[in-house]
Amino acid sequence: MHRPGAGDASAVVSEEERERVLARLREICLGLPETSERLSHGAPTFFIRGKRAFLMVLTDHHGDGRFAIWCAAAAGMQRMLVEVDPERFFVPPYVGHRGWLGLRLDRGLAWEEVAGVAEDAYAEVAPPRLIESARAGERPAGE
């Protein structure tokens, strides 16, 4: 069954809005120690030390009608947030079984909350030394 607009990112969010949100997400994610961005499976994805992904940005993934992030989450956090607010939080395909969390970006953005989710995702994947550096607001020694 084909939904109108399925697979068409512009049916979910305008290109202008998508780019505005991506720019803000880049500020948040690339502001954390030793992070980088590249496409992974066709989606902008943020990595630690170029290897371990902690957050992806997806637009109408396989026609799901969502503009969202998928990100690492602490044990139990996915279930709690999905139960409390299923309109905004969801279990993403492929990575949900590992506890990753989906957060819709097309349902009233609260940037403080989005930043907190991104920082928590980083903390789930990053080595302890980088987490300490991020909390202290500094770059690790030797850089």
Query: Does the pLDDT of residue 123 top 90, yes or no?
Result: yes
pLDDT tens, position by position, 2-19: 334 444 555 689 999 999
pLDDT, mean of residues 71-95:
96
pLDDT for the residue numbered 11: 64
Q: What is the pLDDT of residue 137?
A: 74
Instruction: Please state the rounded mean pLDDT for residues 55-70.
Output: 95
For the domain made up of 9-133, give the CATH fold: Aspartate Aminotransferase, domain 1 (3.90.1150)
Looking at residues 20-24, what average pLDDT do you find? 97
> HEC string of the chain?
CCCCCCCCHHHCCCHHHHHHHHHHHHHHHHCCCCEEEEEECCEEEEEECCCEEEEEEEECHHHCCCEEEEECCCCCHHHHHHHHCCCCEECCCCCHHHCCEEEECCCCCCHHHHHHHHHHHHHHHCCHHHHHHHHHCCCCCCC
CA dihedral 7, 12, 17, 18 (to 10 degrees): -40
Looking at residue 87, its amino acid is: E
pTM of the shown model: 0.86
Q: What mean pLDDT comes out for the span 59-73?
A: 95
Q: Is the pLDDT of residue 141 over 60?
A: no
